[in-house]
Amino acid sequence: MGIKWRLAVFLVFLYALAMQALQDDSHMRGGHQQAVDPNWSELNASMQKMHIAMASVEPSGDFDVDFVHMMLPHHQAAIDMAKTQLLHGTDPQMRRLAQEIITDQQSEIDLMRLWLNQHMKPRKEN
């Protein structure tokens, strides 16, 4: 595994640990935002799902492919969070922004999937 890939995986891992530590610290200090506000829980769940998906990406040996595999859950999390905004948010500007995020991020997901289909190396069968 190349040093850049190792560093990228390590940074994602550190970020996930830091987010978990912040969440644990919030609970220890009596922060009950998630229990009080289910909308916050919904936003946080989108982030947790993204972190799990990104951490599960296995290196392919092709940095471009690995980049796309890491970006797909990142973009999906943005869409999920924007949908939560549309369900619960009331500010017209933020609702408009959320709709734009959904449209733009979905378009980029479609582009990345198309690119992956064109650039993935076929696996040799034994």
CATH of the domain at 53: 1.20.1260
Phi and psi for 62 in degrees, rounded to 5? -120, 110
| 126 lies in some domain | no
How many domains is the chain partitioned into structurally? 1
All residues at 6 or more sequence positions from 26 whose CB lies less than 8 Å from its CB, including other chains: 33
Residue type at position 91: D
| 124 lies in some domain | no
Domain hosting 74: range is 3-119
pTM comes to 0.66
Name the DSSP class of 112: H
Predicted local confidence at residue 126, as pLDDT: 45
| 36 lies in some domain | yes
- pLDDT by residue for the chain (126 residues), tens only, comes to 566 666 566 556 556 666 666 665 555 444 544 456 777 888 888 889 999 999 999 999 999 999 999 999 999 999 999 999 999 999 999 999 999 999 999 999 999 999 999 987 665 544
- Residue 85 CB coordination number (10 Å): 21
Name the DSSP class of 123: P
Q: 105 and 78 in contact (C-beta within 8 Å)?
A: yes
Predicted local confidence at residue 16, as pLDDT: 62
